[in-house]
Amino acid sequence: MIARQQNSDIAVTPAPATASSHNRLAMAALLIGGAAIGGSPIFVRLSEVGPMATAFWRVALALIPLLAWSWFRGTPASDRRPEKLSEYALLVLPGVFLAIDLAAWHYALTKTSVANATLLANLAPVFVTLASWLLFRARISAVFAIGLVTAVVGVITLKGGPMALGDGNLLGDGVAVIAAMFYAGYILAIGRLRSLFSTIRIMIWSTASAAICMLPIVLLSEPTLLPPTLFGWSMLFGLAFVSHAGGQVAITYALAYLPPAFSSLTLLLQPVVAAILAWILLSEPVGLMQAIGGAIVLVGILIARRG
């Protein structure tokens, strides 16, 4: 596991007991982040603007709490600044990946079934694991692989089983897979940056670059950028503050201490959380298959944790 700390976070090699403590805290942050992002479909569902505009406001409004946090906290002496053009490019790269992921997933929602788009977009852990092995020679244990497969089976079950894929559209399904690939790129890029920069610096740069990339997509694809009511704005602020500023900050923090492959696997909790919140807030029923699927996802994550 990566045992690095930067400011609360700066790269040092802690003693074993301290490393264990940081790993437990990172695991808790990862679970909280996954739960926060899991609520994003509720905000998107209730948004009064189109999917691309919703994605833009998700990252643009998230800059408010991120910049406020940075300003109130100040800049610790240990917080390393980028020095080379390549480092600035690395800070921008996760935002580019995230913008493409959001645009692709939202486009897929208009071309294929919601079940297909959500299921295929949640294949990101598969791509993270493969890329970690192929590009970075990360060791993938058999126990972790079993946990990964189990968790993916759980997501498929949660979304209605293999038969749910028959309701999709080939183009939309393909775009959803592309979304998964770019979200995998986002996780891997963040994981690499956490050995160099603090959580808040990475989040500000990646969020700002995602907003800049999303803006022309919105202006070219949708007629309305602004929600018409206060309720619509509240949904966008909730999406930005809770799901992005809260969820992604927690995940970025966790990636300093946990491997990207395992971190991405834990994010399969998102559809489980989304189903629970839809049941509580939108009165959408949770059937037996969804309950079984959620349980399988949790079992898969526990298995992978041992690997």
Whole-angstrom Cα distance, residue 264 to residue 191?
A: 10
Distances, alpha carbon 90 to alpha carbons 76, 112, 200, in Å:
21, 33, 15
pLDDT in tens, 71-117: 887 766 566 788 889 889 999 999 999 999 988 887 887 777 666 67
Residue 167 has pLDDT above 70, yes or no: no
pLDDT on residue 14:
47
| Average per-residue pLDDT for the chain | 79
Please enumerate in sequence order all residues whose Cβ is within 8 A of that of 289, keeping only pairs 6 or more positions apart, or say none.
157, 158, 160, 161
Residue 64 has pLDDT above 60, yes or no: yes
> pTM of the full predicted structure?
0.76
Q: Tokens 């977009």 appear where?
A: 121
- Angle formed by the axes of helices 199-221 and 51-60, to 10°? 150
Q: How confident is the model at residue 157 (pLDDT cuts 50, 70, 90)?
A: confident
